[in-house]
Structures are given as structure tokens and as C-alpha cells.
Amino acid sequence: MKTILLILLLAVAPAWAADSLAPKLDIGKGGQCVDDPKFMRTNHMKLIVHQRDETMRKGIRGGKYSLANCVECHASKVNHSVLGSNQNFCQGCHAYAAVKIDCFECHSSKPREFRKASVLAAKDMK
Ligand code: HEC
Ligand code: HEC
Ligand code: HEC
């Protein structure tokens, strides 16, 4: 129910409605999103979700919609992650929307400079 409500709000509501109901998110580093934030709010899942197959077959990596790129900007300056609390960018909105994301079981939730070695991170590196 909450999810349906949020989706409706994201789709049709004016900015003030989304702002007053949305969780307080730690946007991260700042700068300019890869696309219009309003567009991103409703379409990010289409942009990043299984690009994977295409990416691996054609060898395209690290484009503007790469997951690693999102993390570079949206990781909190406090804990250097997009996860960890309900202020953290991906986790915060997803907890609110009650939508699970399993991406970070394999992908790092931290920007490059705060990772250990590889592009894909183990669970204990979150
Ligand atoms: C079981 C492990 C696993 C899970 C879970 C997983 N991925 Fe991946 N993903 C990979 C591997 C392996 C690659 C290819 C290596 C690479 O390109 O870094 C990849 C590559 C990608 C790429 C292209 C590289 C990049 O950084 O842009 C994107 C985008 C991506 N995955 C998005 C996602 C999203 C979104 C989710 C969650 C819905 C997800 N993946 C879940 C293993 C996983
Ligand atoms: C160069 C930094 C940067 C990159 C890279 C970036 N973003 Fe953003 N993004 C931002 C900023 C800053 C905002 C807030 C803009 C605003 O509110 O005016 C934002 C806003 C958003 C929003 C809307 C948040 C809200 O509260 O409504 C979503 C969703 C989003 N980004 C997802 C992504 C995803 C997914 C990726 C990777 C494909 C990504 N962003 C890459 C900087 C970035
Ligand atoms: C402003 C709120 C918001 C933010 C911030 C946000 N998401 Fe989402 N995300 C959603 C909502 C709502 C959905 C479900 C939309 C739907 O079902 O159509 C979703 C769906 C997804 C999905 C598809 C899940 C599925 O099972 O279909 C993925 C993957 C995803 N988001 C990844 C991310 C990642 C990675 C970040 C951080 C870079 C992020 N999201 C940040 C609100 C957000």
C-alpha cells in the first residue's frame, strides 16, 4: 500500500508533495545527476537493471548509468556508502518504498577510494 502510494506520488504529484513525504536522504557528494532528478526518481531502475547482460556481452562498462557511477556520487560523506541507515541514499528511499535491492550483495556500496581491491565487493566490505 505504501509502495503504491509512493509510486503514485512519484508519478503525478507536484514537487512539494514528494518533498514533504519523502524520507530525508543523504544525497552524497553533490554535483549534477546523470539525468534530471525527477526523471531519475521514476526511471533509475530501468537504467541500471540489467544493463548487466548488455554490458557483459558487448563489453561496455562504466558508462554514465553504471552502478559504480551512482555510488561514486550518492555514497554518504559520513559512512562512505549508499547503505547503512535510512538516511543513506539507496537504502533510505528503498526502505521507505519497501522495495528490496539485492545489487549490493555483489556490487560495492562504496566509492572507489573507500574500497579495498576489486570492482565487486564482498558483503563484509559494505
Ligand atoms: C550475483 C552477483 C550480482 C548481483 C546480485 C548483481 N550484479 Fe550487477 N554485475 C555483476 C557482475 C559480475 C558484473 C560484471 C562485472 C562488471 O562489469 O563490473 C555486473 C555488472 C553490472 C553493471 C555494469 C557495470 C557497472 O558498474 O555499471 C551494472 C549496471 C549492474 N551490474 C547493475 C546491477 C544492478 C542494478 C543489480 C541489482 C538489481 C545488480 N547488478 C546485481 C554481478 C552482480
Ligand atoms: C555527479 C554526481 C551524480 C551521479 C554520478 C549520479 N547522481 Fe543521482 N543525483 C545527484 C544529485 C546532486 C542529486 C540531487 C539533485 C537535486 O535534488 O536537485 C541526484 C538525484 C538523484 C535521484 C532523485 C533523488 C530524490 O530524492 O528524488 C535519484 C533517484 C538518483 N539521483 C539516482 C541516481 C542513479 C541511479 C545514478 C547512477 C545511474 C545517479 N543518480 C548518478 C548526483 C549524482
Ligand atoms: C527517491 C527514492 C529512491 C531512491 C533514492 C532510489 N530508489 Fe531505487 N527504487 C525506488 C522505487 C520507488 C522503486 C520501485 C519502482 C517500481 O517498482 O516501479 C525502485 C526500484 C529500484 C530497482 C528495481 C528493483 C526491483 O526489484 O524491481 C533497483 C535495482 C533500484 N531501485 C536501485 C536503486 C539504487 C542502486 C539506488 C541508489 C543509487 C536507488 N535505487 C535509489 C525508489 C528509489
pLDDT of amino acid 35: 94
For residue 5, being part of any structural domain is answered with: no
93 close to 104: Cβ distance less than 8 angstroms: no
Backbone Cα Rg of the chain: 15
User: Which ligand 3 atom is nearest residue 25's CA?
Assistant: 5
User: Which ligand 3 atom is nearest residue 22's CA?
Assistant: 1
pLDDT of amino acid 5: 52
For residue 10, being part of any structural domain is answered with: no
The vertex-109 CA angle with 51 and 31, nearest 5°, equals 80
The one-letter code for the residue type at 118 is: S
24 close to 74: Cβ distance less than 8 angstroms: no
The alpha carbon of 40 and the centre of ligand 2 are apart by a number of angstroms equal to: 7
For residue 62, being part of any structural domain is answered with: yes
Model confidence over 37-74: pLDDT tens digits?
999 999 998 888 765 566 555 555 567 888 999 999 99
* Atom 10 (ligand 2) nearest CA: 33
For residue 109, being part of any structural domain is answered with: yes
For residue 8, being part of any structural domain is answered with: no
Higher-scoring residue by pLDDT: 58, 123: 58
Model confidence over 1-41: pLDDT tens digits?
555 555 544 554 444 444 556 689 999 999 999 999 999 99
Ligand 3 first shell, C-beta below 6 A? 6-7, 25, 41, 44-45, 48-49, 70, 74, 82, 89-90, 93-94, 97, 99, 101, 103
How does residue 101 score in pLDDT terms, banded at 50, 70 and 90? very high
For residue 4, being part of any structural domain is answered with: no
**Residue 37, Cβ neighbours under 10 Å: how many?**
12
25 close to 91: Cβ distance less than 8 angstroms: no
The one-letter code for the residue type at 4 is: I
pLDDT of amino acid 63: 74
For residue 17, being part of any structural domain is answered with: no
Q: Is there an atom of ligand 2 within 6 Å of 30 CB?
A: yes
* Cα separation, 124 vs 53, whole angstroms: 26
- Whether the per-residue pLDDT at 81 is higher than 80: the answer is yes
pLDDT of amino acid 15: 43
Q: Is there an atom of ligand 1 within 6 Å of 107 CB?
A: yes
User: What's the domain count of the chain?
Assistant: 1
Tell me, rounded to whole angstroms, the distance of Cα 13 from its chain centroid.
21
The alpha carbon of 91 and the centre of ligand 3 are apart by a number of angstroms equal to: 9
pLDDT of amino acid 65: 85
Domain, as residue range, for 51: 25-125
